[in-house]
A and B are shown apart, each in its own frame.
Chain A
């Protein structure tokens, strides 16, 4: 789950050098999209609504980048940081105004069931979440390395002016990248809608974790984000085990600080990357 939340965040950060604080609210919007499709006349299963949720969030993120964030994309980093923060509080509060702050949840037929392997029981929902996260990550990785657009995106991240000279429409590429980040947030939201309570502020917890996971995995490193997500989950559980539940966040943030200070290029990255 953390991996799914972090992949899009890491992509936007790595390619565009934008820390998208609003990523959490995109996840929240994705979760609501799944929720409305589930309670609506279609009664669509959250796992089946992933593509729709991704499409909706792609469109929203694309427009936001094209018309708002693009205005300050070359300004100092504090500008984009504050701008996405402002967008996130606006989106979260508009959601609260229109949908109220009631806690909603999705209960499917398979919600309680789990797979028993030896002495372990793994809830089906968790297993499917993991599979979808892995599939999305691999799909994105393939897209970025094999397709023409993926190559254009990577070229833009290396040198904006050189990419422009080679005929890349930079503004469009940025909007596309942000849109893909949004789509991944939409997918993460659809996944979250099954196992987490759906509220307008549900995204906050994901942003902090997306931060940590992205740094652990190395910025813009898509597969790194997947590895970082798994590592983080383990660290958090062990932190809770050894120091007590209350210290879970302290341990996680201490790990983040140490990684930033000693391995800022991530656990799996290289210094020259």
Chain B
């Protein structure tokens, strides 16, 4: 994967250079790019459990919400500075993933999807009943007027998550995850402790998601259950990952970039029904015609386009 390796290095360099941009941008663009970095980080995190390990989690938004609430609680009730609060949020999110993952990751396919979905919906309802978290009316955080700060923090989370993915993809742990995705029984026979590897993958995924959630809470200065446990975040993570290429190193970021650009073009500031209809049509297109995402085209150019192979693949997937 020479071309793939160059792509990863190229994207990391472009992202690193984009740290120099904020002073030259107006407020709206800083906002748009910060949101793009956040969504990319969420997709990168989902990719670890959904793409590499093959467990389609619909509950990753739980860790976004948990991270946001942990950070808000630490900053509001305990008066911790942001960095300590964010670290606390990361630990809480990862611990929750490990705790939930132990029983839940034994489930497969549809059952795993439903179990994680019900956790996401259940956590939202549960948090909305807790007095220390302001019940349904949410929590407010101290205001930081320096919006460039959030740009840099989100960018940092994204770069760290890409480098972490690249590192994992080349490690024994990464190979173990792929082996589990391809055939869990065979992986177990090879001596992989599947349960531990899966829980570890989910915990790392949750840690990144929690960090993004904590930063989002401070950025937004106000959080309530429907905002931070919004299932749409989870759906977007999945679609961005699939569009770019699940189980690849920078696929999620590329998918996120394309969807964000389309959203910006259609006017994402005011989410109109037509915007959502177009999003739906894009998903239908991706699922049917790009089951491996855009990655083959990005590394192989148009040579990757093979009408015969596409038709054969379509024939194999229908009845």
Q: How far is the CB of B166 from chain A (nearest CB, A)?
A: 24
Q: Is the CB of A82 within 8 A of B277?
A: no
Q: Is the CB of A81 within 8 A of B291?
A: no
What 0/1 pattern do residues 101 to 115 of B give for CB contact below 8 A with A? 001101101110111
Interface residues of B in 69-85 (CB under 8 A from A): none
With an 8 A cutoff between CB atoms, is B168 at the interface?
A: no
What is the interface of chain B mostly: helix, strand, loop, or mixed?
helix
What 0/1 pattern do residues 111 to 139 of A give for CB contact below 8 A with B? 00000000000000000000000000000
Cβ–Cβ < 8 Å partners of B128 in chain A: 246
In this complex, the interface size class of chain B, counting residues with CB under 8 Å from chain A, is: 35 or more
Interface residues of A in 84-104 (CB under 8 A from B): 85-87, 89-90, 93-94, 96-97
With an 8 A cutoff between CB atoms, is B262 at the interface?
A: no
What 0/1 pattern do residues 245 to 262 of A give for CB contact below 8 A with B? 011011001101100110
Query: Given A86-B281, A86-B287, A94-B277, do A77 and B107 touch, yes or no (CB 8 Å)?
Result: no
With an 8 A cutoff between CB atoms, is A171 at the interface?
A: yes
With an 8 A cutoff between CB atoms, is B265 at the interface?
A: no
Question: Which listed segment binds B: A35-43, A54-62, A67-75, A190-198?
Answer: A67-75
Q: How many A-B residue pairs have CB under 8 A?
A: 128
Determine the distance from Cα of A85 to Cα of B56 in the docked complex, in whole angstroms. Answer: 14
With an 8 A cutoff between CB atoms, is B195 at the interface?
A: no
With an 8 A cutoff between CB atoms, is B267 at the interface?
A: no
Cβ–Cβ < 8 Å partners of B314 in chain A: 71
Determine the distance from Cα of A264 to Cα of B277 in the docked complex, in whole angstroms. Answer: 35
Cβ–Cβ < 8 Å partners of A264 in chain B: 107, 111
Determine the distance from Cα of A170 to Cα of B287 in the docked complex, in whole angstroms. Answer: 22
Query: Given A86-B283, A264-B111, do A160 and B239 touch, yes or no (CB 8 Å)?
Result: no
With an 8 A cutoff between CB atoms, is B118 at the interface?
A: yes
CB contact between B319 and one of A160, A212, A246, A250 (< 8 Å): that residue: A160
Query: Given A72-B288, A75-B291, A250-B125, do A97 and B319 touch, yes or no (CB 8 Å)?
Result: no
Query: Given A71-B318, A82-B238, A211-B114, do A260 and B287 touch, yes or no (CB 8 Å)?
Result: no
Q: Is the CB of A73 within 8 A of B284?
A: no
With an 8 A cutoff between CB atoms, is A109 at the interface?
A: no
CB contact between B126 and one of A97, A215, A250 (< 8 Å): that residue: A250
Determine the distance from Cα of A77 to Cα of B280 in the docked complex, in whole angstroms. Answer: 18
Q: Is the CB of A93 within 8 A of B276?
A: yes
Complex A-B, nearest 10 residue pairs according to Cβ-Cβ distance, in ascending order: A86-B283, A90-B280, A253-B122, A93-B273, A249-B125, A86-B280, A75-B317, A253-B118, A93-B276, A170-B319
